[in-house]
Structure 1
Amino acid sequence: MQTAIRKLKTVLVLLCAVLTGTAGVCAAQGLPDLAGRTVHAVTGNDYRPLNFIDPQTGNGIGFEYDAVNEICRRLNCTVQWHVTSWDTMISAVRGGQYDVGMDGITINDERRKQVEFTEPYLTSEQFMLVRADEQRFADAQTFRADERLLIGSQPGTTNFYVAVYDVLDGDEANPRIKLFETFGPAVQALIHGDVDMVLMDASSTRGYIGARPGKLKVVGGPLGSEQFGFIMTPGSDFVEPFNAAIGSMKKDGTLDALSRRWFYEYR
């Protein structure tokens, strides 16, 4: 049965190509056909539930893994996964070492000067993640007023800049911000009492709370909104096909299904 279905899809694609007279535009759902090209994708495996290591298997999993694998399924391309640190990712993609990068990367004008972004695949807001028994503050204002309280953050991220400008006093060298290389150690420092709050988008806070029942909670309301996009080398011919696939995944509910899977159902 599966073989027959594949043959039927092939016939339909060929028929579409004959009728349109244009090669490579008749892949699944009318999307561009990348003819099996390899896409070198890079992530950090440090941003649960977008990308992280499965403790059961040791493999990289998460929303972004599933999203890019699905994009390449629709575009007829093959993903080759790589891992690098956040502080080198943008420069590595800009220089063409990788085709596409992802690590919950917020779309902003400063980064647009270095790389190209796809259309957003996820919109999120920043929230204050705290220990489950936290009673000393309930919002950014009361946190700011108590100079004993510390924030755990990752340098160069949206979370860092929200901590500096939306929570504290605008001083990027403020000693109340304790820096960590990745989000995981920052959350561990929070649990152990070394810092008092970590800023994260709503999706990641749900992931961390779900993975550590009874240890964490969110206080206060959203502190800002951000859109995540995949980054690509300037001038990359992958941008338009990826945008088309992202659009189709929004339209048919696939991105919503991935959100449910990773932000609400995964434990």
Structure 2
Amino acid sequence: MKKTAFAALALAFAASGALAQDVVRMGSEGAYPPYNFINDATGELDGYERELGDELCRRAELNCEWVINDWDTIIPNLVSGNYDTIMAGMSITEARQEVIAFTQNYLLPEPSAFIALAGTDESVRDTGVIAAQSNTIQAGMVAEGDGDLLEFPTPDETISALRNGEADAVLADKAFLAPYVADSNGELVFLGDDVLLGGGIGVGVRQSDDALRETLDRVIADMKADGSLNAMIEKWFGADHPQF
């Protein structure tokens, strides 16, 4: 993806310290629980990143609204101005930092894992057909290895590919995979050791939006310091999930 020069948004600090922007549009995927998902009962975006994003906006005195966007085009549509942030379980990587900027992480680097049908030999991790969501750090890892990468636009499609025999295993964030394994009555199992990828998950912003990034960065740091971020992580991911 080419670097692009973007017109700077009208972002400045008001006298109160809040960001002077009418509306900050928060982009998310809505398809990756518990990070972000559509609540079946309300039809609204829900999950860890919805709760965290709302709290960031409240503390920063920002007027925010949420925009749902497919994962495959989530970075291009940030760059083109369809929304102002990405909060969608996006890991901080050097390749992405060539195109967009990130706040400090609001989730530490966390385990990715392979799952497969029960009885599958662990060797498929290295030489088999591995399903992963496209444009993820997991897909990048498989592409660099000796196995065959099978990419899908949504994470649910990777699970379907495993179950219908298209793929030998799935590689994704362990927190996403764990409910599938737990609810499968032994059909699905974790395969081998966990894998650590990326530099944690942060808020993505356009490279020109320094004021917005700095504002969100400050609030994330405050939430780390007062323990509220860890409390939110524990609520959505459990007590064993890495905390700050």
Which of the five TM-score ranges fits, normalised by the shorter chain? 0.7 to 0.9
**Among candidates 58, 61, 69, match of residue 46 of structure 2:** 61
- Secondary structure of 1:231's counterpart equals strand
Other-structure match for 2:201: 228
* Residues 79 and 206 of structure 1: CA distance in aligned 2, closer, same or farther (over 3 Å): farther
Which of 160, 166, 169 pairs up with 1:194? 166
Instruction: Return the offset for 1:40.
Output: 0.3
1:70 aligns with 2:55: yes
Structure 2 contact 53–87 (Cα < 8 Å) conserved: no
TM-score after normalising by structure 2: 0.81
Question: 1:137 maps to which residue?
Answer: 121
Contiguous gaps of at least 5 residues in structure 1: 1-21, 26-32
Cα deviation code 1:50-82 (max 9, x no counterpart): 111222332221111111011011111122111
Is the 2:114–2:125 Cα contact (8 Å) retained in structure 1? no
Matches of 1:208 and 1:249 in 2, distance apart? 31
- Contact 2:132–2:172 at 8 Å: present in 1 too? no
Q: Is 1:203–2:178 an aligned residue pair?
A: no
Please state if 1:157 is matched with 2:154. no
* SS of equivalent to 2:31: coil
Map of 2:8 onto structure 1: none
- Indicate yes or no: 2:66 matched with 1:92: no
Report which of the two has the higher share of helix.
1
RMSD (Å), alpha carbons = 2.3
Task: Give ranges in structure 2 of 5+ residues lacking alignment.
Answer: 1-13, 240-244
Residue in structure 1 matched with residue 230 of structure 2 by the alignment: 256
Q: Does the 8 A contact of 1:207 with 1:262 survive in 2?
A: no
Letter in 2 for 1:248: D
Structure 2: which amino acid aligns with 1:254? S
Query: Map of 1:119-134 to 2, 5 A cutoff?
Result: 119-123=104-108, 124-131=110-117, 133=118
Q: Measured at CA, do residues 88 and 223 of structure 1 come closer, stay the same or move farther in structure 2, by a change above 3 Å?
A: same
Displacement, 1:195? 1.9
Match of 2:16 in 1: 24
Q: How many percent identity over aligned positions? A: 28
The number of aligned residues is 223
In the TM superposition, residue 262 of structure 1 has moved relative to its aligned partner by 1.8
Change (3 A) 1:179 1:225: closer
After superposing the two structures, state which structure 1 stretch, 189-198 or 203-212, moved more.
203-212
Decide which of 86, 103, 127 is 1:118's aligned counterpart. 103
Structure 2 CA distance, aligned partners of 1:116 and 1:262? 26
Deviations 1:88-124 (A, max 9, x none): 2111212222110122112112211211111111121
Alignment correspondent of 1:28: none
**1:136-159 CA distance string (max 9 Å, x none):** 323xxx1256x5x42111222111
Of the candidates 36, 40, 49, which is equivalent to residue 51 of structure 1? 36
- Whether contact under 8 Å (1:115, 1:233) holds in the other structure is yes
